[in-house]
Structure 1
Amino acid sequence: MTFRLRTAALAATVSLFSGAAMAAECEVTHWWTSGGEAAAVAEFAKAFDATGNKWVDGAIAGGGGTARPVMISRITGGDPMCATQFNHGRQTEELIEAGLFVDLTELAEKENWSEIINPPSVLESCTVDGRVYCVPVNIHSPQWLWLSHAAYEKVGLDVPTNWDEFVAAAPKLREAGILPLALGQQPWQSNLLFGAVQIGVGGIDLWKKVNLEKDVEAARGEQMAKVFQAMGDARSMAEGSTGQDWNEATNMVIQGTAGGQIMGDWAQGEFQVAEQKAGEDYTCLPGLGVHEYLSTGGDAFYFPKVDDPEVTEAQRQLASLMVSKDVQVAFNLKKGSLPIRGDVDLAAANDCMKKGLEILAGGNLLPSGDQVFSADTQTQFNDLMVEFMNNTDITPEQAQERYADIVESAD
């Protein structure tokens, strides 16, 4: 079995468990490749290298949809990495059931993760049958509308404050050669857009009925029909958006060649790299400016089992670091996400992060799609939404019926 993990020079690092001084090279796979993401993940690498261990970066381009199959294939094929990113939730159910991940329960109890990680649902998403199998590193809410001040200034319009104003401004942007809605072509981006519109237009109660209760009648109902009509508007606004990756779409907003983008709070990292300032160069609207809330999804790291005690020790050290106060602050300020602990100093947070912190403090929270649907069901939603957004022959009514069928058979 090849582990791609080689023992490095011994360092004076105190072991969290055995007390031995160990150091190891640790290959970490993830899908963070944009400018903002790379700056954020570098904070993990810097902190880990300072322990005497060595972070070996295993970035996989193309986003989670491309990276996850590669990661899973390596783990199940006997070529595990030291640590790997997934979204906390149901993506790893089968791998956990197969016993392929390190059990982090002892570490979690030692460091009181249940007391410091907030909200509790974040750690619960890493917990199976009472055992902890991952370390959550952030809270990422995907349903934000990002708006370019330059684009609206060019056409003499005020920056929209909600979804209806955004739709109403689209024709004037189009007349000026500005794309109203930038959208990447990866399926998850279309499904992310749908989730935002579902709440912004349909409301939180509808979202709960469909996503939590799996209410098929609600999925086929009149309120959901309004959601799909709004998706038709979004399709028209995004016509001509040909970029593939999400950060390409974000860059259009930064450059003022697009009016807005519906994307997660990780887009903040791109605005920061471009040295743009929230409230001056761009506006962020959680819940599309209609229903302010946060999803409690996000990123987590899992640690595949390996037959090397030094690597196992390095895995535990890395897990501990990722939860630590200083690393949480350094990473999340650059990532644009919220920290998973509330006892950290975020005085340096920008206006958009402060909005998220206020919503988090107010408790207006929902689980993410990865927390309530299996990976297979999520893939079906992704495929449907990207097909709808790219094929005007599919009517909103037809898309809604297909969506309801998926909900009816969802697990």
Structure 2
Amino acid sequence: MKNWKLAAGLLLSVALPSQAFATDLEVTHWWTSGGEAAAVAELAKAFDASGDHWVDGAIAGGGDTARPVMIARITGGDPMGATQFNHGQQALELVQAGLMLDLTDVAEANKWREVVNPVSLLDGCTIDGKVYCAPMNIHSPEWLWINNKIYEDLGIPVPQNWTEFVASAPQVEAAGKIPLALGRQPWQSTLAFNAITVGVGGLDLWKKVNLDKDMEVAAGPDMLKVFQAAADARKLAVKSTVQDWNQATNMVISGDAAGQIMGDWAQGEFAVAGKVAGKDYTCLPGLGLNAYLSTGGDAFYFPKLSDPDQEAAQKRLAALLVSPEVQVAFNLKKGSLPIRGDIDMSSANDCMKKGLEILKSGNVVPSGDQAWSPDVQTQLNDMQSEFWSADMTPEDAQARYVEILKTGL
């Protein structure tokens, strides 16, 4: 009943026509792991309770698999009601082609510019002064997740940063454990490298390369140190043969691996497994070396539909996704941070509270998706995947890295 009242109020605030019957909306996304499915269930429950109906269109395999399918359907004349993309430039060409619904009236009626924090997330949805997406969450990929029991059994302290983690690797290996779990999808290699960039090289280095686009720095000695550290890290992950990120997370949860570099969404998997932050596992933002957040995450876009009833339902869903109640319910299950700065997150676990404190401090930067085009991101993913799975030297990897970045200038 509470959800219904909230949704009803949102419908009034957006000044949409009243519903005579439930409207079905297919929503495509790539959230299929245990923690992700639990979070999506919260969205479906809220939308169904509002009087409409969520038709789930989950696509397994992650964003790299799902996005081409989503884009092909939209450009091919078979659009869904709503679809997930990451914050950044992934849907830019679809918007420019006139294929996405303008949500400016929803954003203004619900005062999104006043409540979205940081407001750069809304700016990422805004093109030529019009809002085209509903920001859903803030995800930070630069976390180190550690199984505490492995270190308790070894009789040594749980590492509190990346340097200590690497130093503990020989003892972990001697105990028959894999030091670092890493899935074989290309984006996971890029994520690990970017985390090491900030952890080893520092936040200023990341900003100079990714925001200032300084190619001399990208080709310089500080970045070479990052590639050398990544080469050392790949030795720790050499026996990790799983494919998906959540399989790698499960290696840490089950005690087969000591740690994983992965985004804050990993804590959704720990929660489903009944693990307690600070007791069963340790979470270290910025690899415990440089605590910061990159304000990436997920947003929902709404392809243009010919049915006016469906368009009205799309706007009702957009308003609902940014509503306080849905933001709390979804993000508590997902492990991500809410995009609203005016809601009560006192029930968050220790890891989420760390993220909220960093967000409050303002120590945030844009995500790689916001800094570079999808083409550059794809090339980087392919290069990093090769680097982490082969014997490419740090020097050769750095040279290729710089050449790829130059294509995005």
Q: Give the TM interval when normalised to the shorter protein.
A: over 0.9
Unpaired segments of 5 or more residues in structure 1?
1-11
- Deviation string, structure 1 residues 173-200 (Cα, Å, up to 9, x no partner): 1111100000000000000001100000
- Deviation string, structure 1 residues 326-348 (Cα, Å, up to 9, x no partner): 10000000000000001111111
Q: How does 1:138-287 map to 2 (within 5 A)?
A: 138-287=137-286
Q: How does 1:126-137 map to 2 (within 5 A)?
A: 126-137=125-136
Q: How far, CA to CA, are the matches of 2:143 and 2:248 in structure 1?
A: 14
Is 1:295 the counterpart of 2:294 in the alignment?
yes
Is 1:17 the counterpart of 2:15 in the alignment?
yes
SS at 1:38's partner residue? helix
Which residue does the alignment assign to 1:8?
none
Which residue does the alignment assign to 2:399?
401
Q: How does 1:33-72 map to 2 (within 5 A)?
A: 33-72=32-71
SS at 2:282's partner residue? strand
Question: How many residues get paired?
Answer: 400
Identical aligned pairs, as a percentage? 65
Q: How far, CA to CA, are the matches of 2:330 and 2:116 in structure 1?
A: 16
Q: In structure 1, what residue type is equivalent to 2:133? A: C
Once the two structures are TM-superposed, the CA of residue 52 in structure 1 deviates from its matched residue by 1.5
Q: How far, CA to CA, are the matches of 2:141 and 2:44 in structure 1?
A: 25
Q: How far, CA to CA, are the matches of 1:162 and 1:243 in structure 2?
A: 24
Which residue does the alignment assign to 1:307?
306
- Deviation string, structure 1 residues 256-299 (Cα, Å, up to 9, x no partner): 11010000000010000011001000000000000000011100
SS at 2:296's partner residue? coil
Q: How far, CA to CA, are the matches of 1:116 and 1:240 in structure 2?
A: 45
SS at 2:277's partner residue? coil
Q: How far, CA to CA, are the matches of 2:128 and 2:16 in structure 1?
A: 26
- Deviation string, structure 1 residues 190-247 (Cα, Å, up to 9, x no partner): 0000110000001011101100111111011111011000001111000011111000
Q: In structure 1, what residue type is equivalent to 2:273? A: A
Which residue does the alignment assign to 1:319?
318
Q: How far, CA to CA, are the matches of 1:44 and 1:185 in structure 2?
A: 30
Which residue does the alignment assign to 1:112?
111
SS at 1:122's partner residue? helix
Q: In structure 2, what residue type is equivalent to 1:140? A: H
Which residue does the alignment assign to 2:27?
28
- Deviation string, structure 1 residues 60-115 (Cα, Å, up to 9, x no partner): 00000000000000000000000000001111111010010000011101111000
Q: How far, CA to CA, are the matches of 1:251 and 1:148 in structure 2?
A: 10
Q: How far, CA to CA, are the matches of 1:71 and 1:21 in structure 2?
A: 28
Once the two structures are TM-superposed, the CA of residue 121 in structure 1 deviates from its matched residue by 0.7
Q: How far, CA to CA, are the matches of 2:174 and 2:266 in structure 1?
A: 27
TM-score, scaled to structure 1: 0.96
Preserved CA contact (<8 Å) 2:74 2:80: yes
Which residue does the alignment assign to 2:339?
340
Q: How far, CA to CA, are the matches of 1:268 and 1:371 in structure 2?
A: 24
- Deviation string, structure 1 residues 122-181 (Cα, Å, up to 9, x no partner): 111111111100000100000000000112122222110111111111111111110000
